[in-house]
Every structure is written in structure tokens, then in C-alpha cells.
Structure 1
Amino acid sequence: MPSVVEKMLWKVKKQTRHDLGRTRFIELVQDWKEEYHQKINNALREMGCSLDWSREAFTMDDKFSAAVTDVFVRLYEEGIIYRANRLVNWDSTLMTALSNLEVDNMELTGRTLLDVPGYERKVEFGVMVHFKYPIEDSTEYLEVATTRPETILGDTGIAVHPDDARYTQLVGKYAIHPFIRGRRIPIVADTYVDPEFGTGAVKITPAHDPNDFVLGMTHNLDFINILTDDGLINENGGCYVGQKRFDVRYSIQEDLRRQGLYVDKKDNPMTVPLSERTRDIVEPIMKPQWWVKMSSLAEDAVKAVHDGQIKIKPESAEKSFLNWMANLNDWCISRQLWWGHQCPVYQVHFKGQEEGNQASENRWFAGKTEEEGLAVDRILTLAVKFNADEDTAFAKAREAWPDKEFELAVRDSDGRKMSKSLGNVIDPLDVIHGIELQDLHDKLLMGNLAPTEVKKATAYQKAAFPQGIPECGTDALHFSLIAYTTGGGDINFDVKVIHAYRRFCNKIWNASKYVLGKLESVNVFVPAKQRALTGKESLAELWALHKMNSAVREVSQALEQREFMKSANLVYAFWYFHLCDVFIENSKALIQEGSEAQINSALQTLYTALEVALVLSHPFLPFISEELWQRLPRRPADETKSISVAKYPEWEAQFENPEAEVAYDIILGCSKGIRSLMAEYAPKEAEAEIIIQAYDAASYEILSEEKSSIRSLSGKGAMKIAIFSPDHARPAGCVAFPVSSVVSVFIHVKGRVDLDEEISKATKKLDKASAAVQKQRRLVSDPAYVEKVAVATQDADRKKLTDLESEANGFRITIEQFKKLKLE
């Protein structure tokens, strides 16, 4: 928030926070907070967030500030929070330290020009500059290399490997700094150096590099900071003092050339650290800051995972978590920001002594107030004055849960992390309501992006949303985000996926309107007092209620296990593949052709299935489910006012009917076979001849009783359907679609198709399908795939493999059938 306000301040008034002063700037941030607070609240409500708004709180409220202060003091007293002068991640734009979590690492493969805040021209990265240091009292030179030439000004050592014979004679000698008069640079031996990398000699800048920091401590080298807080070269930079650090990057290379010390420059893959908020290049700088010891905290966290007190999901993320804990550094919590919880620590200065000459780094005391700080250290009798530390603390806490779900980063459709500073953040309200491309561009101009970033963001918008963003609605956005949570990798946010879920919402709306229309068509439809079987249900109804019951059980289990993608997919599957595509279609025949008792039973089952589906969907689709549920007639004595407080569906033993599922799956298999054969071989003019042959008595009975259901589910093509018994001869002149081991569907084709042409077509399809099978097998058999990919994704990929194998086998059967037909 402060960075947004500061950017706005500069854009509008060309002022910085320092121009305003701390008090006025904080007032400005508070004004901004008040202005946008309600806008943010309204957006959350419009997005369907179901929250207890009476418990709304602001992180800077007095009670939270008091809690942060109390925790800080306790951790300081326990020695967990301490002060140290160490390397920190420094943002020169904000002039504050950052935690590792606030730094984005950009991978470069070679020379790359990047925009940096405060620079008119792009800055070169991804290159290794080689140059020579002259050896003191010698004509020799020692070649080293760096990706950050400006840091030469902070070099205080050169390291070589102790076993590297090329440099043995130089260890213990000194190199002469080419730009800082009088600075002698010791040459030391250290096994850290890789003699095979580069020249085998490494320049050491202890105050500006984490690895060099360790080398500097080991060899007692000088730590010389060369940067001011705002990224300029300070008084330790010789003739470059006052210049911007990346301007010096170029001028130093020219000066090396003039002195004959420049060697060359080569492409070099590297990682560039960027501030998450400002996109400035993060600089390692020595700063006295407040730190949290992480070792004991990490040990407790690791133990809790090993002991099973904390379960990490997905399981594949546990290894990443443990590796992260094993390499955890102490956490810098100081922030040089004016907006935030001020560190409750005070520095003691003794009267009569100059503040800069009393080694006062050790005179820090923590307390909720100055008086408490004094009392804790028992120095009340001393004549002292207190300076409150102006640092604010990075305070962020999460509720502890025994089951931890790894958070995913939301990225744009190109895989880049969404960031306000990149201009690729998608406003959820724009997805809900839709927005024209030009309006997207205009919003960029109204923001605080630099002109170069506006240009990049505009290009991204043109590529990602050439027609703007279509209106998708809240529920489609809500459902998409849940369905994206694989528990594995990050989310690549694609509006086309959301728009597809809008069509899903349309299907729910149309299906519900159909059911409501059928209920209203009855003179007075009264739902049964409770969900229960009457014994009059058809096979289709028993199947639908069984599938409904299974969906209830599986969705509830998935939610309890925090498998949110799985739960969303289960809701989608029940609506789409079971309720809409099957039972509602089948119900048309039941209602049109059934007796009064059969019609009433079908309507009661439609009501029950829709009622349960809407309540089951409510956590995923809050608005459309509420709207449609309100239109449903209530069961007698049910006075529930809102779907949001309706009892969530529970599995009921009475609806469990695996026998009905097996029997009805035969019907579905037959209708699928008919549609497939009709699409491929149905005559254009004449009526298609469909024959369904059962190979056992039970299947023959089911098929005979459900002939109208088969016709209802088989599409709109003209056809006549015959059911053959097990003892009937195999139909001649037909192509078969094997439904199962006990049923096959046939369509008469002899004399209507070119058999050789059909064999050729099927062979080409088989070749394509076989290639797809091999590709999918390689994917799921890769050891790395099993280790890294989420379980839900693995299940989906294995199902895809099974489907591909089935498809390929179907083409083989088709080829054999046509070959046999040629012989008839």
C-alpha cells in the first residue's frame, strides 16, 4: 500500500515521501486506505466471498498493533529476535529491506536488457565481464570476472584454490585496486573456489554478495559498502561518488579499457533478483537490522511433519517443504517503511557522549513503552535519553492448522507471476462483467506504471485479450479458481477457461428451468415430505438417485480432504454427464410415455436430483445455486430461508444401488454405441436399422424393458431398433459396436458403404490413436512424473491413457469387421 501511494504521489505531484515527511505521508496513506477500503469490500462481496463481516479488521488497528508489539517483546526476551549487521535484500526505490519472499528471481539465459526504475535506458544483465587486477610490485596480472562491474568498487579480496598451481606463488600477496587509491587487495586461498570455473580466481566483495560475505568473515577482509540507500555510489566509490549504480556499470568498463585492464565480455546465464513491489534490482547490502532466528522454529516444524502433527498436501510438496526448512536462513523483519507496526525497541544514548561514538549497537532494549524498556534493563538510575527505532516490522501471521495446503501463485496465461508492477494483473470484476480491450489499456494509463511497463503491459493485453475480456459472471470465476487448485504447480490464469465455465453455468440454468417447467406443468406439484424411495421408481430413476448419492459422498470426502479441484470436477461431472446429459434426457420419455404414477415418480426424482445438485454446488457456484434454489417449491414443513443455511447433502444408504448402476450402464452403453454408429454409417435418406443383441437372459430382459429409454438417449436420427435374444443368430451385413461382454449394438451397412474405403479410414485412425497411446504411456511411466505431479492429475492422465487404449482397440475391431464383411 505505501508503495502504491508513493508512486501515485510522484506521478501526480512529482514528490517523494521524503518531500512530505513521515507524518504527512502516513496521513496520505490513511486517506488512500479509507478511499479504497469500501471498494475492496464491495469487490469481495461481488466475487461471492461468504465472510462474517462483523469480524472485519484492519491490520493496523490498535488491538493488532498491541499484539504485534507483545509478540515482538516476548521473542526479543527469548533471544529469538536479535539485531545484527548483515546482508539484506535492499530495494533502492522503496529504500527498505525485503524478505526473500518479497523477491522474485528472474532467470536469464544470456545477455538481456532490462528496464530498471529510475533509468532512461535499459540496463545490461546476463554477461560476465572479465578484467585484470595488477599485482603489487610486479608486472603480473590476475584475471577475474564479474556480472556486476559496479561492485569492483567494493572489492577487498581475491580468492584462489589452495591446490591451484597457477596461483600458488600469488597467495599472500596483494593486488592494486585500479580506482581506489591506496587500497591493497589481499590474495587468499580458499577451497570454496572452483579452479575449473572461469579463470579459477574470484573477486571478493564481502559487503555486497552472500557468498563473498562468508569469505570475508573467514579471511578477516574489510567490509566496504559502496551504495547509498537510494542506489547511488557513496563516498567509498572514489571518483564515482554520487553516480547511479548502473550508470557506473558502464563507465567502469570504459575506464578499465582505458587502463588496459579490460579483457572481454561473454554471455552468462544468471538469476536477477527483482523487488516484487517495485521491480527494482534487489541489492545485497550490509545493514543493522532486526532478525528472527529460524533454526529452532524450522526444527519444530520439521518434527511436527515427521510426527504427523501437520499433514502437507499434496504429499509431493512435503519434500519441497522439508528441503526449504533445511536451508532456511534467519529472517530479516526490519522494514524502512513509514507505514507499519513500529518495532518496540529503543536505543540508549548516554548524556555527554556523542551518539556516533559510543558503540551503541549493543544498547538496544525492547519494551511495550520506553518506561518498560528501561525497567527491563534495570537502568532507571542512569541519565539517558531514548531514541525509538524508526524501523517497522514485517508482521504477517496465519492461523495454524493440522492440515496445510500449499498455496499456489496465480500467473497470467504466459506463465508470468501476476504483479501490479508488471501490469498483468487481471481485475476480477473485469472478468465478471467483461471489458473492452481499449478500456483495459485506459486502466493501465490511470495506474502508476512507468511508461516502459505500460508499453509492455499493453502488448500483453493485445495478445492475451484481442477482443477484450468477455462477460463471464461471478460463478464462472469462482468455479474456475477452485477447479484450478490442483495442489501441484502454480495457476496459469486463462480467461478462455473461465468463459468455458460460464457455458457450464448456462447449462445448469437451462436444465433447472426445464425441470421447474415440468414441475409447474402439473396442476399442483407437492414435493415429498422427505427424500425417500417409494418403490415405484424406474431403472433410470434408481440410477440417477444412486449417482446423486455417490456424488454427495465423493464431493464431501474431497472437501474434507481439501482436494478442491477434485470436488469441483465431481460437481461438474454430476451436473453435466449424469443429470443433464442422461437423466433429464431420459425423463422426457418417462414423462411423455408413462402412466400417471410413473410421471409423478419421475417428477419427484427430478425434484430431488435438482434440489441436491443445487445445494451440493452452492460452495462452488454461490449465486446461480441460490437463485435457482429460491425458485424450487419447498418440501412440507421446510422453512429454510436461504440455500446458504440449508443442510448440506449427506450420503444415504437407501439410494445406494450398484445393481441399478450396472443395469443402466448397459442402456447408456447401447445409446453411446448407437450414436457412434449413426454418426459414422447412418444412411442420409433412409431409416437406420439398429439391432441390439443380448448374450444372456438378464441383459435381454433389461434391454426389452428399457427400449424407450435407449431411443430417448440415442439422439434424433431416424432409426428402428430391434432387440435380439441370446439364441438369435448374429445379424448379417452389419458393423458391431461392442458395449460389453454381454451386449453388442449393430447397424446394417452392407451395400451402403465402400468397405475398402472404410478399412483405409479406420487404419489411419488406428495409426494416430496408437501414437497417442505411446506418448501417454511415456508420460505416466516417467519416474519424475510420479514424484512431482499431483495425485489428482496422475489419476486424470491414467484415465486418459485407458480411454486412448480403448479407442485404439475399437479401430482394430472395426477393421476386422469390415474385412469379415468383405467375405460374406
Structure 2
Amino acid sequence: MLSKAVKTAFVRFHDQGLIYRDNRLVNWSPHLRTALSDLEVDHEDIAGKTYLEIPGFDGKVEVGVLCHFKYQVKGTDTFIQVATTRLETMLGDVAVCVHPDDDRYKALHGKTLVHPFFPDRKMVVLADTMVDKEFGTGAVKITPAHDPNDYKCGQRHSLEMISIFGEDGHINDKGGPFAGQHRFKARQTVEEALKEKGLWVDKKSHTMRLGLCSKSKDIVEPFMKPQWWMNCKDLADKSVKAVREGDMKILPEFHHQTWYHWLENIQDWCISRQLWWGHQVPAYRVVEPAQKEEMWFSAMDMADAEAKAKAKLGVKKVVLQQDEDVLDTWFSSGLFPFSVFGWPDIEDNDEFDAFFPTSLLETGHDILFFWVARMVMMSIGLTGKLPFHTVYLHAMVRDARGRKMSKSLGNVLDPIEVIEGIALADLQRKVEEGNLPEKEVKIAQDAQALDFPDGIPECGADALRFGLLAYTQQGRNVNLDIKRVVGYRHFCNKVWNATRFGLRYFGADFKFSGALRLDAPFAWEDRWILSRLSSCAGKVNQAMEKYEFAGATTATYQFFLYELCDVYLELLKPRFYGEGAEAETPAVAEDRQVAREVLYICLDWSMRLMHPLLPYLTEELYHRLPPSPTKCRSITIAPYPTTVNGWINEGVEGEMEVLSEVAKQFRSQKTSLGFAPSARPAGFVRHATADTRATLARLTTRLSRMGQIGEVKVLPEGSGTPAGTLQNVVNADCLVYLEVAGLDLTKELDKLLKKVSSAEKTIKSYEDKLALPQDKIPQNVREMNAQKLEAAKL
């Protein structure tokens, strides 16, 4: 089925004239002996003289140098000097170009040059504006068969195209005495021969960009070879229009510029490859009757091709030969959105009608052009439709240092190693068993020992998933630090333990009614946690809709850890103390039932909200929750929670902010004074506003529990400092006091004296700055200094 789709696409585009055959310069990998597209070439900046190892060549290749040599003007003692970074290509030189306005060379226009190794070759000095007369000597050697700019120049001046390389990168018979040599061996021997002939000038370090095959790391050569090409200009224009007009979304949106840049500057696509594996090009060359020029017919099979050829040539018999080349893998991959549903057989095709076009494509941004653009262009060209409405591009995972994960660096992490854990010795053994050179093995192992001195602890699939989703806010690349994933493993443990702890409050007979009554007698903390839960659901849904997965991880993490566990579960404990006692009143029993139902909602919603982020853990815990009429056989099919406006309570949330700030200061003061964690000293609060004093007075029992202290009293306006206490500042309107009777305050006094000293220095610093002439200091800086001075005085 898929083979039929590939053949159909090729034949249709060929019949439309979009696919054609031409002998042009291509990017050639001599090691792989195949053509490469522009995007399969990695460009490496070379700062100067460098030696590289490449596959298929013994020894190192010198790059990053500019070689200067000279050609003699025939019949004279005059020479013209040229320079090149690829000395071996001078074997294919057919001309030297100079700028027509360069006075140094005007007398040489049209003169014949002598090639030192091919004296019978016609070489001339040409005038062409392509030359930058300010660069180097202002004279440029021209090798049309091995340089894109020279190729264009050769076409303008009808120059001979002399290809000196074979497909394997060795010099061919056009290379004269250098024939049979590896091209980089010839680089050395040509230099030696030029020196012997007195034509060598010098060699200088030179910055350059070097094209490397992305697969083999061989140095790519521009190479003349007949190939199949596809004109993508019209399809690319339509693809650009689709994004500009909003018919197709690409997220994150900063990738739009990359999309426009590639497609607005698109070149014809070389779609043929000289490989053993792939879809064979469905094109057939006429062998008989003989033709003056090659004639090709595209067809689904030989019989179809023969019928086309006979009709075109008006003959009864033809002999055809199918091209042995295969198609670029991205040609067939570009058909994926519709070929998998049976295209081109779409009549009465329910799958095609139901699933094409699809809604969302998720993939890495590194193949935005390789794959995504090709799918869009193919779909437009063959079906008239966009293949999907939204493209979400995830970041690329790199190591903690920001390096691309690469086998050649030995820093690739198998996800299983993070999920299951692995010892350092096993990590290093895997590097040894790879195909890295011996010296690279040592470098990779040293890096592993530095990054994972104790190996990688078992993190689990959920922690890795959650970590990678949390990392998506970094943009184009994720610098994966395993320590952060380990942190999310601890979060998973917290979710497990907190849920198991919460289950203790339900009892054996609890069954959730299925819904909370909005008029239930909720306690203050119930109203607060429901408001926060609803807010969390809103944030998560909004983040999911925008594909901002880091926002979903942040919202669920903060709610479960800092609000549900740290606050609500702690405030629940007193409501369940003494349960089952004879003195339990109906009101107390009802309060506990409400608390159970709110806790159930919190745990149930938390599991459902976190399920896309922590699928295994939440599925397990979901089934451990008490029965409910709304419970599903799997959390996967349970409704996803959304905001409940009736739960939102900004007033209670504001009160909790005040309470949390005061409680945090109590805990901090208690720790700094050296109290034991179990100690519960009394606390006092002074606040400047009457409304806030009333709120604090109403919530003193909650404040006591949150602050991990004993009884809390709110001081009336105008009262003095409580005896036997130490003061701490919460903010400009609020002070707290902690009872310190019987506590050794020597250490705390030392700390306070140091703080006072530091504060005095800070105050002096800002007073000095404000004392300077202010006309030369920007207004915003003056205001900032004044604000910092006031803050220091507090």
C-alpha cells in the first residue's frame, strides 16, 4: 500500500513537471557514495589551521588554511596569484576570474594561462563581477564542477565542467598524474608538485565553514551528477500562506520565523539517493530505440512505462531500464499523513475520510523542515488539503552541560537507565562496548564520573515524564539534569505517601456521594482548599489548551505539595482527633463528614489533573480511593476536572495569604532561636489594621498549627511588648513575638548584632549615594536608592 503511494506521488509530480532530472552540483558524501540534501549537511566553523579525522582516510586532513599559488600567463614571464582552501580542486581549474574594474588585471583580460599539470588545457583570464577585488589577491580560480559559485560562473561563460573526483572521493583519470589518489592525499602531493615547479607561494591560517555529512562526518564535496530534483517553490509558498493566515498553527510560535525563512528561500530538492535501501525511483530510461538525449518515463511499473514510451515514441517495441537510485527517505515520509489511510485509493475509504486531515502533529523542532514541511507540501500538492491543523514542536534533550546528546560524545542517556537506575560502572562499560575511538572512551567516561559519581538512581517512568514536561519551558533545548528528575521522584513519593496518609481519614465505611453540596457547612480551610483546587484546575486546563505543559506541571506540583499537603492536611488533623468518643456531637460528626468529602474531592481531582503528567502513579492511587458513583474503571476515561466558579473564594484566599505570611515568620523565628521541632512556645501578633486583627483573632488556632507554635494571641491596638518575648518583623504593618522564657539567647543576640551592623552599613551606603549631586544620576536610579534606604531602615 505504502509503495503504491510513493510511486503515485512521484508519477503525478513528474507528469506535472515538478519532478525533473538534471546534471547539477549536489552535496556528495564520498564515504557513503550518495547525494545529500542541504539539510543533511552540518556546517562547522573552523577558527584556523586544524587537523580532522574523517572516515575512509588514513591520517588527518588539514583544514582552515588558505593556500596561495600562481598561474603563468602563456608566453610571458607574468604570473597571476590565486588562493584556495581546497588545493586539490585546482586539478579541475579552467579559468581565473578578476573584477572587470580591477586596474591590476585589465591588461590580462582574455589572456591564456598555463595549467602546470595540463599544458594543453584551455585556461583564460575572465572578467566577472562575482569577484571581490578587495579580498585576497582579487583573482579567483574557477572550478565549475566542484564549487557552487564557480558552477554559476561556468554557466555564464560556457566553461568546460571537469569533474576530477570519482564517487568514492579519489581522483579520477581527469586528474592526470594524481589519478587514483585519495582527494586529501592529492591535497598534499599537489602542494609538493607546485613547490617543485616554483609555483607555490605560501599557506596561511584561515577561518572557514566546513560542510560535514550529518551521518558519516565525512567532508562533503560539491559533485556533478545526474539526479532527480523536485521544484517546491509553489508548494512552499502555499505552506507559508497557511501559517501566515492561521490555517495551520505552529507552536511555540517563535518557530514561525524558522518556517518562513526555510520555505521563502527554498531551493529545488534533490530527491534521489545512491543507497542500497529505500523506495526505488519509479522512472525508466529508454535503452532502445537509441535516443540522442536521455529520455525517461515515470510509471507505476515496467508495463505502464512501456505503454507510455511506445505511445510517446510511436514505436511497437521499446527496451527500458529502471533507475537504480532510491528516493530520499523524507520523500516517502512526507506522504505519511495520508498514505497510512490508503491514499491514493480514497473512494469509499472510511478511514481516510475520518482521520485525514488530523488535528495535531507533535514532533521535535529539529525536523521542522526535514519532515513537517515536506508533509505539508506533499499534502497540499497531492490532496489539496493541509495534513493537520496544529504542529507542536518539543525541545531537544541535551545533557546537563548543554551539549547535544551524541554517540560520538558518549553522553547519550537511555531513558530506561533513568527509569530503572544504573550504576556508574555499568554506564562506563556501555561506553567501552560502543564504537568510540579509545581516547574518546576515556573522555566520555571521565564526563560520566563527573556527572554521575554514584550512578543514576532509579527514578521511574513518571518522574522522568514529569521532569521532561517541566523542562519544556526552556524553549528550543532541554539541558537535562538528572538531579532534577530525582527531585520529581521525591515528589512522586510525596504524592504516594500523602494519599496513603489521607486515606486513613476516610474509614472503612466511607463512600463519596458523588458531588459536594455548595451549601454544606464547610470549615474555613475547606473553603480555601476548594478555591485553590478550582484555581489549579483552571491553570492546568489553560496550560494544556496552549500546549504549555510546564505550566501544568508547576500548577499541580505547587497545589499538591504546598497547599494540599503542607497546609490542608495539617489543618485537618484536629478535626479527626478523638473520633469515636462518646461525647461526639452530631455537629462534630457532620464536620468530619464534610472534611472527608472535601479531602476526597482534593485527592480525586489531584489524581485526574496529574494523570497526563504521572499516568502510572495516578492510575494506581485512583483505584485506592473510596467508592463513588462517578468513579470510572480507569482514570484514563474519567472526566478531566475544570474550574467550579462556586468554589472560588477570593476573600478566604486573601485571609490565607495573611495567615501564611505570619506563620512563615513564626516558623523562621522558632528555627533561628534554636527551638526543638516539637517545642510549642506561645506567640503574639501585632497588626496595624483592625480588619486584619479581627481576621487573625478568628483564625488563631489555624495560625498556631501552621506556625508550629503554641497558643497565639492577637495584641490589641496600643498594647506594649509582651514580657519574655522576642520581636520579628513580618512587614511594615505586622510584627510577631515569640515567647523565649528559659531559652539561651546568647547566640541569637550575636546574630541580631551582626544583622544590625550589616543594616547600618547598608543604610550608610545608600545615604552616601543619595548625598551625591543628583543632577547626574538618572531619576529611576535615585528613586530605587531611596526605596532601598527605607527598606534597610525597617
Q: Into which bin does the TM-score normalised by the smaller protein fall? A: 0.7 to 0.9
Residues in 2 aligned to 1:253 and 1:765: alpha-carbon distance in whole angstroms: 69
Instruction: Please name the residue that 2:663 is paired with.
Output: 671
Residues in 1 aligned to 2:646 and 2:594: alpha-carbon distance in whole angstroms: 16
Residues in 2 aligned to 1:490 and 1:653: alpha-carbon distance in whole angstroms: 38
Residue 647 of structure 2, aligned match among 655, 665, 675: 655
Instruction: Please name the residue that 1:627 is paired with.
Output: 620
Instruction: Please name the residue that 1:402 is paired with.
Output: 389
Residue 109 of structure 2, aligned match among 158, 171, 181: 171
Q: Is the 8 A contact 1:349 1:360 kept in 2?
A: no
- Where 2:83 maps in the other structure, the secondary structure is strand
Residues in 1 aligned to 2:690 and 2:390: alpha-carbon distance in whole angstroms: 52
Instruction: Please name the residue that 2:218 is paired with.
Output: 280
- Where 2:202 maps in the other structure, the secondary structure is strand
Deviations 1:663-691 (A, max 9, x none): 21111121222233444456789976643
Instruction: Please name the residue that 2:402 is paired with.
Output: 415
Instruction: Please name the residue that 1:616 is paired with.
Output: 609
Instruction: Please name the residue that 1:384 is paired with.
Output: 318
Deviations 1:727-752 (A, max 9, x none): 5468799654345x765545589995
Deviations 1:439-498 (A, max 9, x none): 233334444555565555445444443433332211122122222223732223333332
Give 1:321 deviation, angstroms. 2.1
What are the equivalent positions in structure 2 for 1:475-624 lying under 5 Å apart?
Answer: 475-486=462-473, 488-519=475-506, 522-592=507-577, 595-624=588-617
Residues in 1 aligned to 2:161 and 2:174: alpha-carbon distance in whole angstroms: 11
- Does residue 685 of structure 2 align to residue 700 of structure 1? no
What are the equivalent positions in structure 2 for 1:235-250 lying under 5 Å apart?
Answer: 235-250=173-188
Q: Residues 96 and 256 (structure 1 numbering): CA distance in 2 closer, same or farther, change over 3 Å? A: same
Unaligned runs of 5+ in 1: 1-62, 770-804, 818-824
Residue 760 of structure 1, aligned match among 752, 757, 761: 757
Residues in 1 aligned to 2:132 and 2:721: alpha-carbon distance in whole angstroms: 78
- Where 2:28 maps in the other structure, the secondary structure is strand
Q: Is the 8 A contact 1:337 1:392 kept in 2?
A: yes
Residues in 1 aligned to 2:458 and 2:42: alpha-carbon distance in whole angstroms: 32
- Does residue 242 of structure 2 align to residue 255 of structure 1? no
Q: Residues 582 and 215 (structure 1 numbering): CA distance in 2 closer, same or farther, change over 3 Å? A: farther
Q: Which amino acid aligns with 1:631?
A: R
- Where 2:422 maps in the other structure, the secondary structure is coil
- Where 2:27 maps in the other structure, the secondary structure is strand
Q: Residues 690 and 180 (structure 1 numbering): CA distance in 2 closer, same or farther, change over 3 Å? A: farther
Q: Which amino acid aligns with 1:76?
A: H
- Where 1:341 maps in the other structure, the secondary structure is coil
- Where 1:172 maps in the other structure, the secondary structure is coil
Q: Residues 491 and 84 (structure 1 numbering): CA distance in 2 closer, same or farther, change over 3 Å? A: farther
Residues in 1 aligned to 2:596 and 2:140: alpha-carbon distance in whole angstroms: 81
Q: Residues 78 and 597 (structure 1 numbering): CA distance in 2 closer, same or farther, change over 3 Å? A: same
- Where 1:85 maps in the other structure, the secondary structure is strand
What are the equivalent positions in structure 2 for 1:40-119 lying under 5 Å apart?
Answer: 63-119=1-57
- Where 1:486 maps in the other structure, the secondary structure is helix
- Does residue 715 of structure 2 align to residue 724 of structure 1? yes
Residues in 1 aligned to 2:727 and 2:133: alpha-carbon distance in whole angstroms: 73
Give 1:334 deviation, angstroms. 1.0
Residues in 2 aligned to 1:596 and 1:762: alpha-carbon distance in whole angstroms: 53
- Does residue 438 of structure 2 align to residue 433 of structure 1? no
- Does residue 76 of structure 2 align to residue 151 of structure 1? no
Give 1:429 deviation, angstroms. 1.2
Instruction: Please name the residue that 1:368 is paired with.
Output: 300
- Does residue 414 of structure 2 align to residue 443 of structure 1? no
Instruction: Please name the residue that 1:712 is paired with.
Output: 705
Give 1:541 deviation, angstroms. 2.0
Residues in 2 aligned to 1:550 and 1:260: alpha-carbon distance in whole angstroms: 82
Instruction: Please name the residue that 1:221 is paired with.
Output: 159
Deviations 1:497-542 (A, max 9, x none): 32232222222222222222333xx342222322444532222222
Residues in 1 aligned to 2:282 and 2:131: alpha-carbon distance in whole angstroms: 43
In the superposition, the TM-score normalised over structure 1's length comes to: 0.79
Q: Is the 8 A contact 1:483 1:565 kept in 2?
A: yes
Deviations 1:107-132 (A, max 9, x none): 23223322211233232222222222
Which has the larger displacement, 481-490 or 586-595? Answer: 586-595
Residues in 1 aligned to 2:461 and 2:540: alpha-carbon distance in whole angstroms: 21
Give 1:766 deviation, angstroms. 9.7
Give 1:387 deviation, angstroms. 0.8
Which has the larger displacement, 530-539 or 91-100? Answer: 530-539
Q: Residues 199 and 553 (structure 1 numbering): CA distance in 2 closer, same or farther, change over 3 Å? A: same
Unaligned runs of 5+ in 2: 338-386, 580-587, 767-782
Which has the larger displacement, 402-411 or 69-78? Answer: 402-411
Residues in 2 aligned to 1:175 and 1:337: alpha-carbon distance in whole angstroms: 41
Q: Which amino acid aligns with 2:699?
A: E
Q: Is the 8 A contact 2:394 2:476 kept in 1?
A: no
Q: Residues 629 and 601 (structure 1 numbering): CA distance in 2 closer, same or farther, change over 3 Å? A: same
Deviations 1:695-716 (A, max 9, x none): 334322321232222232224x
Q: Is the 8 A contact 2:288 2:320 kept in 1?
A: no
- Where 1:693 maps in the other structure, the secondary structure is strand
Q: Is the 8 A contact 1:278 1:421 kept in 2?
A: no
Q: Residues 141 and 405 (structure 1 numbering): CA distance in 2 closer, same or farther, change over 3 Å? A: farther
Q: Residues 764 and 210 (structure 1 numbering): CA distance in 2 closer, same or farther, change over 3 Å? A: farther
Give 1:366 deviation, angstroms. 0.9
Which is higher, the Rg of structure 1 or of structure 2? 2
Q: Residues 603 and 104 (structure 1 numbering): CA distance in 2 closer, same or farther, change over 3 Å? A: farther
Give 1:347 deviation, angstroms. 0.9
Q: Is the 8 A contact 2:683 2:739 kept in 1?
A: yes
Q: Is the 8 A contact 2:113 2:123 kept in 1?
A: yes
Q: Residues 95 and 546 (structure 1 numbering): CA distance in 2 closer, same or farther, change over 3 Å? A: same
Deviations 1:768-788 (A, max 9, x none): 99xxxxxxxxxxxxxxxxxxx
- Where 1:183 maps in the other structure, the secondary structure is coil
- Where 1:343 maps in the other structure, the secondary structure is coil
Count of aligned pairs: 707
Q: Is the 8 A contact 1:180 1:237 kept in 2?
A: no
The CA RMSD measured in Å over matched residues stands at 3.3
Residues in 2 aligned to 1:734 and 1:360: alpha-carbon distance in whole angstroms: 100
Q: Residues 281 and 634 (structure 1 numbering): CA distance in 2 closer, same or farther, change over 3 Å? A: farther
Residue 455 of structure 2, aligned match among 448, 457, 468: 468
Residue 327 of structure 2, aligned match among 368, 385, 393: 393
Q: Residues 703 and 75 (structure 1 numbering): CA distance in 2 closer, same or farther, change over 3 Å? A: same
- Does residue 64 of structure 2 align to residue 126 of structure 1? yes
Residues in 2 aligned to 1:809 and 1:336: alpha-carbon distance in whole angstroms: 72
Residues in 1 aligned to 2:577 and 2:645: alpha-carbon distance in whole angstroms: 30
Q: Is the 8 A contact 1:588 1:712 kept in 2?
A: no
Deviations 1:403-427 (A, max 9, x none): 3334533333343333445543321
- Does residue 205 of structure 2 align to residue 267 of structure 1? yes
Q: Which amino acid aligns with 1:584?
A: L
Q: Which amino acid aligns with 1:545?
A: L
Q: Is the 8 A contact 1:207 1:286 kept in 2?
A: yes
